[in-house]
């Protein structure tokens, strides 16, 4: 990282790369990535930041799991860590291509690289006993009952009333295995796409070897861990709303524009942010601010430029 630039880790949601209402065709994925790339161009035109991008994979890995189940009679299904690796490569390719085309279109002499990234977890994490991470599409109650006749999946109802989704283990990230490589590439001026889908979940087995584990890591927590490992100056988590709220979509709804660490922690502990959506984002920025003393932002991608100038989004600080 150059001395005059600040290091920014920016987390894209899986829905920024595949709309939840889409069928999931490659044309839809590429169109979404192109839109996202264009929205990020002003950030890359600025000389203020070195940028690392991360992204989710909830819709994509869910779709892949469906394909695996449907084709299991003909092709052996892969475990979750391999599915995360597959979607990391798929999304990384689509996003890398879209970004490079946007750079060329706007005359930006930049290059981007999607890096297959492993994230270390604890194999004894209680998350393996208490499944919580939603993946894949929404189902009706009737559809879940039909699925459970043939599959040993676990479903949970969406807090917003959208239906039911499959849930899988989501252990807490301990460290990003490729941190030093990401740092070196960023120092050389490359835009690195990393910890896709929360990173490929791995642990050290009894032989001390790296081994995959059946899980999906939350991408916001993994992004925060990467930002902590790199001592980033700023963490930005992009979502589908401009800022955080308490009493969201209720008559007494309150927008949260500026939060110190105590306020953010209090609201989080009081349960104002749902576990399947805003909860992990707030938890991630709390951990980042606690560990580094630096600021974090939660906002919509359309408000990114304003949020970096602290004119939009929710700013969380010491």
Q: What is the pLDDT of residues 173-226, one digit of tens each?
A: 999 999 999 999 999 999 999 999 999 999 999 999 999 998 999 999 999 999
Predicted TM-score (pTM) above 0.85: yes
Q: Which pLDDT score is estimated for 93?
A: 97
Task: Check pLDDT > 60 for residue 1.
Answer: no
142 Cβ contact partners less than 8 Å away, ≥ 6 residues apart = none
Residues 6 or more apart in contact with residue 229 via CB below 8 angstroms: 175, 176, 179
- Residue pair 255/245 in contact (Cβ under 8 Å)? The answer is yes
Query: In this structure, is residue 225 part of a structural domain?
Result: yes
Q: What is the pLDDT of residue 27?
A: 94
pLDDT in tens, 242-264: 999 998 888 989 999 999 999 99
How many domains is the chain partitioned into structurally? 1
| Domain extent at residue 299 | 6-317
Residue 154 — very low, low, confident or very high, per pLDDT cuts 50/70/90? very high
Kindly list the catalytic residues: 14-15, 133, 219, 281
Residue 18 lies in a domain: yes
Confidence of residue 22 (pLDDT cuts 50, 70, 90): confident
Counting residues of the chain whose pLDDT is more than 70, the rounded percentage is 98
User: Residue 240: which pLDDT band, with cuts at 50, 70 and 90?
Assistant: confident
Rounded to whole angstroms, the Cα distance separating 257 from 244 reads: 8
Nearest to 304 by CA among 238, 252, 216: 238
Compute the average pLDDT of residues 88-114.
96
Give the count of beta carbons closer than 10 Å to the beta carbon of residue 297: 24
- Cα dihedral: 84, 64, 135, 51 (round 10): 40
How confident is the model at residue 111, as a pLDDT? 96
Residue 277 is part of a domain; what is its CATH number? 3.40.1160.10
Contact 195, 226 (CB under 8 A): yes
177 assigned to some structural domain? yes
Residue 1 domain-assigned? no
Give the separation between CA 116 and CA 90, rounded to whole angstroms: 11
């Amino acid at each position: 990282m150059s001395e005059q630039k600040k290091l920014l880790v920016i987390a894209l949601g899986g829905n920024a790369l595949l709309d939840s209402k889409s069928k999931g065709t490659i044309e839809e994925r590429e169109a979404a990535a192109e839109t996202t790339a264009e929205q990020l161009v002003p950030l890359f035109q600025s000389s203020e930041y070195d940028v690392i991008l991360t992204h989710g994979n909830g819709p994509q890995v869910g779709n892949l799991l469906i394909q695996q189940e449907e084709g299991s009679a003909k092709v052996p299904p892969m475990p979750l860590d391999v599915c995360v690796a597959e979607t990391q490569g798929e999304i990384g390719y689509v996003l890398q291509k879209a970004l490079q085309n946007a750079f060329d279109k706007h005359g930006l002499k930049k290059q981007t690289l999607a890096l297959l990234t492993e994230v270390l977890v604890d194999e004894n994490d209680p998350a393996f006993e208490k499944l919580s991470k939603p993946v894949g599409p929404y189902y009706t109650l009737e559809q879940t009952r039909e699925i459970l006749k043939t599959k040993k999946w676990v479903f949970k109802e969406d807090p917003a009333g959208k239906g039911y989704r499959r849930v899988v283990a989501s252990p807490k990230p301990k460290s990003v295995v490729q941190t030093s490589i990401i740092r070196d590439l960023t120092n050389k001026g490359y835009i690195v796409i990393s910890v896709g889908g929360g990173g490929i979940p791995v642990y050290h087995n009894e032989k001390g070897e790296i081994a995959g584990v059946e899980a999906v890591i939350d991408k916001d927590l993994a992004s925060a861990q990467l930002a902590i490992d790199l001592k980033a100056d700023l963490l930005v988590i992009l979502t589908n709303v401009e800022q955080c709220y308490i009493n969201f979509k209720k008559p007494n709804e309150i927008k949260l524009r500026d939060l110190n660490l105590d306020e953010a922690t209090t609201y989080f502990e009081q349960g104002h942010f749902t576990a399947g959506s805003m909860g992990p984002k707030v938890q991630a920025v709390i951990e980042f601010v606690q560990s580094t003393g630096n600021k974090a932002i939660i906002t919509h991608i359309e408000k990114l430029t304003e949020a970096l100038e602290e004119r939009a989004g929710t700013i969380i600080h010491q």
